[in-house]
Amino acid sequence: MQTDRDVPFKLEAIGIEKAFQISSGFMKPKKILHAVNGASFHLNAGETIGVVGESGCGKSTLADILLGLEQASAGEVTLNGRSLPTIPRREIASLIQPVFQDPFSSLNPRKTIHSSIALPLKVSTILSRQEQNKRVEEMLLLVGLPLHFRQRLPHQLSGGQRQRVAIARALVLMPEIVVLDEPTSALDVSAQAQILNLLKDLQEKLNLSYIFISHDLSVIEYMADRVIVFYLGKIVEITNCQELFSNPGHPYTRMLLSAVLIPEPGKGIPKSGMESQLPDPTNLPKGCGFHPRCPLMQSKCQSEVPSLRNLGPGMVSCHFSGESIQAGTQSK
């Protein structure tokens, strides 16, 4: 993996913010929802960064900003050292592409598989019709689909096959970065495993960099080199994958990991803390946004926003990172 800082990061986010105005009712002032609030991180060549967090924490909004589909309210995104707004739209498409959650809704039901895969080529390149056809055939074979699938429609394919088509379409422009937003959550377990193995193979063959968004921690553990933990629009932890699963630094990360059910007959369902309600994102708590649910909470947490600070091999946004949950609970 290339980590030499003299070479620009494949992608870098610097202080990204995104706020939306939301209606609060008739004749009432609109509320502000901070979907992403000061996110900063980088992606190296050939690396996979996993992004985890509960639904509504801002993961998909972050993906849209990185893809140029949403404009950040503040901050900057760079691709290969160049600011995203300065790069022509067609060039952005050749550098970074998405794969979405539901392969059926992301494919035009009236278009053949060939047409769906070829569409980016028609829009973004000057390849001849013959060259486009050849590229589509190469993509089908690359993702493990037979060539006779070209003339099929999406409803004639299984969920896993449709997701292979979506991956082929994302790769047809030969991008360097792929943003995968829950790419296996709509698939059965067998199809999930096949798609994950395919993505790993493609990354090795093509030296792809991945931003992999998922709520499934087992998928993140299998796919990611580093992990970003998101909570209410903020990054609360960034660390390498092995460290996150063996020694999580943030109490929210611990909560997420404890919510993963491991079958133990007779043990019942363990309490993880996830039962407590997520705060209203338009009326966030003062201080640390996680403090109402946190077993380490102390008075400082209710008034001071923790900064993202170094902790071992990663960074954690917590006043009491590294302390045990038991010790934190006793000291309250």
- Answer yes or no: do 187 and 323 share one domain: no
The answer to whether the CB of 180 falls within 8 A of the CB of 219 is: no
Q: What is the pLDDT of residue 166?
A: 96
Q: How many CB atoms lie within 10 A of CB 323?
A: 14
- Answer yes or no: do 135 and 277 share one domain: no
CATH code of the domain covering residue 50:
3.40.50.300
- Answer yes or no: do 312 and 221 share one domain: no
Q: What is the pLDDT of residue 285?
A: 87
Task: Determine how β-strand 48-52 pairs with β-strand 31-43.
Answer: unpaired
- Which among 245, 233, 257 has a CA at the least distance from the CA of 317? 233
- Answer yes or no: do 115 and 217 share one domain: yes
- Answer yes or no: do 207 and 329 share one domain: no
- Answer yes or no: do 95 and 227 share one domain: yes
The answer to whether the CB of 53 falls within 8 A of the CB of 216 is: no
Can you read off the two tokens belonging to residue 76? 């900057």
- Answer yes or no: do 31 and 150 share one domain: yes
In a domain, 3, yes or no: no
- Which among 186, 189, 190, 193 has a CA at the least distance from the CA of 166? 186
The Cα 306–Cα 303 span in angstroms is 10
In a domain, 1, yes or no: no
Can you read off the two tokens belonging to residue 161? 């096959």
- Answer yes or no: do 265 and 208 share one domain: no
Handedness of CA 176, 180, 186, 189 (dihedral sign): positive
DSSP state of 155: G
Task: Determine how β-strand 96-99 pairs with β-strand 177-181.
Answer: parallel
In a domain, 182, yes or no: yes
Q: What is the pLDDT of residue 162?
A: 95
The Cα 323–Cα 317 span in angstroms is 13
The answer to whether the CB of 29 falls within 8 A of the CB of 62 is: no
Domain count, the chain: 2
For the chain of 332 residues, list the mean pLDDT of each consecutive stretch of 10.
Answer: 60 95 81 91 96 89 93 94 93 94 86 95 86 96 96 94 96 96 90 96 96 94 96 94 94 88 52 62 88 90 92 90 49 40
Q: What is the pLDDT of residue 269?
A: 46
Rg (alpha carbons) of the chain, rounded to whole number = 21
DSSP assignment string, 159-191? HHHHHHHHHHHHHTT--SEEEEESTTTTS-HHH
- pTM for the whole structure: 0.89
Give the domain-ending residue among 201, 221, 246.
246
The answer to whether the CB of 77 falls within 8 A of the CB of 157 is: no
- Answer yes or no: do 273 and 225 share one domain: no
Amino acid symbol at 249: G
- Answer yes or no: do 234 and 291 share one domain: no
Task: Print the domain residue range for 51.
Answer: 11-246
